[in-house]
Structure 1
Amino acid sequence: MHRNQELYIYLKENTRNLTEEWYQNIDRTKTAGVYASKEPDVIKALKEQNHDFHLHFIELFNKGEKDFFQDFEPWINEIASDIEHINTPIHYVIREFKNVRNQYFEYLRKFAEVHPEITRKEVDVWYDVILKEMDEVILRFVEATYKYSQTVLKAQQETINELSAPVISLSNHQGLLPLIGDIDTSRAKMILENTLKHCSQRGIHHLFVDLSGVAMIDTMVAHQLFQLLNALKLIGVNTTLSGIRPEIAQTAVQLGLSFKDTKVRTNLAQALEQK
């Protein structure tokens, strides 16, 4: 039997031992997140995840590197998107990867002790393989974690964008866009894009834009606001502005922006009454 196969069988017989020893040796006074949990369900899931790791990792001595990682990828992605691991600082996760790596070194030493015919050179080769591939696993885990966090962040940002420029449908093909808070250039661009899309999708013919919740906008944002009004006009949507503060009106005048094609009302209540 090939030596790699012998080592593979030895490790496979000890996967449960590897998991239990690893879990028992976690220093819970110096860790957090999933590793410090006292919840039975969390602990059970953590142990199963660790055991699955071993079942995948030992295939390194049974398969080629390419096939090894191809089968390992789903486990890496699963842990990267696991809520318990997400809520665990990543340096603690990496530390446990390293602790598991050290376990393999120890089991390799034990294996060599009971097989005196194994040369030091063979042990060194296995040592280097474990070191190299564990580092690659850690790197792929960090990459998968980053990709997952970016996906979540993008989804959250899209939700925030939707909520920060909500077009509220009213009766008779009318809509309301209440703007609140500071508006920078980035948010102004997003407001323009979302408002045009929502008005078109919902068949809105008249949009009330209320600025009473906006304290200040700079010249660039004021310009983009008027771009929004012009763009709405091009797609057949009439507009009524309300709640324009003196500072905003002054900025518009300085830019030479005209309100002549837009209805302007003092406040939203007046705008909705007069339409």
Structure 2
Amino acid sequence: MPLPGRIVDVSAGEFFFRAPDSVPAGLTTFRLRQIGDVLTGAKKTEAENLAPAGPGNDPTRAFHMLWLVRLDDGKTVSDWYSATVKKEPTPWARDIGGPGFAAPPRSSNATLMLEPGTYVLVCHVGSAREDRSRYHLLKGMFRPLTVVPSHGRSASLPNADVTARITGTGQIRLSAAIGRGRQVIRVVNETPKYHEFAVRRLQRGRSTAEAVTWRRTDGTKNPVEPWGGFSDVPPGATLTTTVAFESGTYLFWTGRGPETSIAVTVTPTG
């Protein structure tokens, strides 16, 4: 089953995006691939991720996600960057979400309807850290994107196999069981806050209890493998992703913890 709409391939590395300069408006799937050290130096990046953060180590240096930001008419990418660096309010810049992190060689994707205008592709990884040197955007990880009017008929969103609703303080409710193979998942954020939506596969021999309580400082390897999801789902927004599930146990979460995660098992005949 192909991905919905027009596919825009985006590659992420340290600290850049490779993507087209412009795309037509309409139904669009952004497919994010990791081509940096997490692909070419997996052992090195795993060691960095498990080591304490400090002047000589950034645990999230090689892990990239994609946020799409739409600018109001009359605003430029230079305006947006200048305001962001100065930590000034940008009510004229709207985060509309995007694909999260998937461990290579897998890719992640986000499907949404694009309107003509000026956009920015951004990696906000590190933005919550007090150490601003860890913020990927400030390392130059952003790229302008122009969405031009389309003269053809836009595709329609496919029917969802499963709808995931984000409620309350980040709880997830699924409309149906997750089946094996490619599944179209529609994520609806019913809360007034932005939420990440992560899809993770449980490693063999590890438990879901370990998965939702694990911390890098525990001295063990991460009990889950990043399988996709969204960098952010804005308040009140609906995003769609297509995920290929193999047999095994998966976790969906908006935050790593027992209250904001849900475990699902995909069987060989599921």
User: Scaled by the length of structure 1, what TM-score is found?
Assistant: 0.18
Which protein has the bigger strand share? Answer: 2
User: Scaled by the length of structure 2, what TM-score is found?
Assistant: 0.18
Larger Rg: 1
Which protein has the bigger helix share? Answer: 1
Task: For CA contacts below 8 A with separation 6 or more, give which structure has more relative contact order.
Answer: 2
